[in-house]
Amino acid sequence: MNTLPRPMAERSALFLDFDGTLADLAQRPDAVLIPPALVLLLHGLHQRLDGALALVTGRAREDLEPMLASPWPWPAAFEHGAVRLSVHGGLTAARPDGLTRAIDAADDLVARHSGLVLERKQTSMSLHFRLAPALEALCVDTLARAIADDPGLQLLHGKAVVEVKSNRVSKGLAIEAFMQEAPFAGRVPLFAGDDVTDESGFDVVQRLGGSGIKVGEGPSRARHRCPSPEALRAWLADAFFVNTTTAP
Q: Provide the strand spans (E) within 4-152.
A: 12-16, 53-56, 76-78, 83-85, 91-93, 117-120, 125-128
In this predicted structure, what is the pLDDT of residue 97?
80
Catalytic residue ranges: 17
pLDDT tops 90 at residue 3: no
Each residue's pLDDT tens digit, 60-106: 999 999 999 988 999 999 999 999 998 877 766 667 888 999 999 99
> Which residues are bridge partners to 225 per DSSP?
214
In this predicted structure, what is the pLDDT of residue 68?
95
Percentage of the chain lying above the pLDDT 90 cut: 82
- How buried is residue 206: exposed, middle or buried, by Cβ count under 10 Å (0-12/13-18/19+)? middle
* DSSP for residue 69: -
pLDDT-derived band at 2 (thresholds 50, 70, 90) equals: low
Each residue's pLDDT tens digit, 222-237: 999 999 999 999 999 9
Helix, strand, or coil here: 108?
A: helix
In this predicted structure, what is the pLDDT of residue 247?
46
d(C-alpha 56, C-alpha 192), whole Å: 9
- How buried is residue 173: exposed, middle or buried, by Cβ count under 10 Å (0-12/13-18/19+)? middle
State the Cα angle at 168 between 165 and 174, rounded to 5°: 95
Each residue's pLDDT tens digit, 183-219: 999 999 999 999 999 999 999 999 999 999 999 999 9
Residue 88 CA from chain centroid, whole number: 21
Q: Long-range contacts for 103-106 (Cβ within 8 Å, ≥24 apart)?
A: 104/146, 105/142, 105/143, 105/145, 105/146, 106/139, 106/142, 106/143, 106/146
What value does the mean pLDDT of the chain take? 93
Q: How many alpha carbons fall within 13 Å on the CB side of residue 224?
A: 19
pLDDT-derived band at 8 (thresholds 50, 70, 90) equals: confident
CA dihedral in degrees (21, 27, 31, 34; nearest 10)?
-30
Tell me whether the omega of the peptide bond preceding residue 183 falls within 30 degrees of 0, making it cis: yes
pLDDT tops 70 at residue 246: no
pTM (two decimals): 0.86
Report the pLDDT averaged over residues 142-160. 94
156 contacts: CB under 8 Å, gap ≥ 6: 80, 162, 163, 164, 165, 196, 197
pLDDT tops 70 at residue 1: no
